[in-house]
A and B are shown apart, each in its own frame.
Chain A
Amino acid sequence: MASLRCFLRSGRNAVSVILRREFHKTSPAALQVTVRDALNQAMDEELERDERVFLLGEEVAQYDGAYKVSRGLWKKYGDKRIIDTPITEMGFAGIAVGAAMAGLRPICEFMTFNFSMQAIDQVINSAAKTYYMSAGVAAQHSQCFAAWYGHCPGLKVISPWSAEDAKGLLKSAIRDDNPVVVLENELMYGVPFEMSEEAQSKDFTIPIGKAKVERQGSHITLVSHSRMVGHCLDAAAVLAKEGIECEVINLRTIRPMDIDTIEASVMKTNHLITVEGGWPQFGVGAEICARIMEGQAFNYLDAPAIRVTGVDIPMPYAKILEDHSTPQIKDIIFSVKKTLNV
């Protein structure tokens, strides 16, 4: 039986779209690419490279994508490769998994990951478990799904932050012979990032399962994923003015997690804070802290490792409440100073 190559991606629903332009590096003659465009490029390149790849989801074809991530693809590749579906998540997620079982490489898009809950059975019971159960013969609106999908053996889960992350990880996900959940953050779509020459190549991929040190530092390690990476870098910039040098790690992959990079960093800085947008209980930060405790880096900690997370409540509606329900830069700065006892 052909392997399961089902691959899911989606944006996160937001009550209000925050428009912000962020420039995290400046260098001459650099190409600025938004996360949205990077995702679009990744899909375009992979559709061209492998004729088994196709995209299905609500509004992905003629509407150019609900968030315009698939803009232009239907015009270029047509009805066979870019398929608009009715509003039937369970059905089309199952169809995507079935097509993967039969040898194709579908990209199944959920308009928001909240909608994927309707299809979570197909993702977990049909996609994730089938390879294992067949012994290689051929094996379910506003929250962070890293912990949900990261819990499940048989899935790979990636969480890009920058445009380069988005492009490189998405391409790796499409080329991977296994089901991969891609946690896109809708608030990041419009943010431009510098894209290196290397990243502009059609063969550019980022390996799944490897974290990246975005900023070197010696006093404390900040581990994060997705949008919060930007917050960590902003906090680090402020703290640097006070002489505190933070090392910022971008996880890039939730599952399988690159604990080695985190351990090496903690052994250097002796302090650890995890930063995530998701809820605290049973989350990404909880997993990182547990593993650090169980490993060699524990002996190098000069203070307990702590988690900075979203508030343990459902996402509120009013803007001011919403703003205060996920970590702010000031929350990160506050936690760093508490940990370092300054």
Chain B
Amino acid sequence: MEDGREKKKPPSPKFCINDHVDILVEILRRLDGDTLAVAACVCRLWHSITRHDSLWESLCFRHVPSPPPSGIKPIVLALGGYKRLYMLCLRPVLNRLSRFGLRDRVDHVQLTLSLFCVDYYERLGGGGGKLGESSASSSSLMFLCRPVNV
């Protein structure tokens, strides 16, 4: 038994981001939509964090110059949440209307909210109009999902 063997240095505490969820949330909150979606594939913890609607809330209004009107949050939550708003409406709208100026972003958001509301109404079964289909399906936003001729 050699005493000369060097004692192992106690392992320096490694910093693991997963131990600090609050910092993780702050970082993820600042990502753009596509990166956030990629982050959701990293591990289960990250996936569960990205499901929080608050992350998507800051994403939705990040590029709008003026703060969103007060009272918007309960409405968005009632209509389906920020993540759905972003993925279904805001992202395609902002992409397609990118040639409009920053000043018009507020109007884009208004228009998006209206379309989001129509989507909610159709999911309630308000759209109707499909032969032989009684289930609620939201189809009036499908034009946002079609490939765009840019």
Partners in one complex: no
Which of B's residues lie within 8 Å of A, judged by CB?
Answer: none
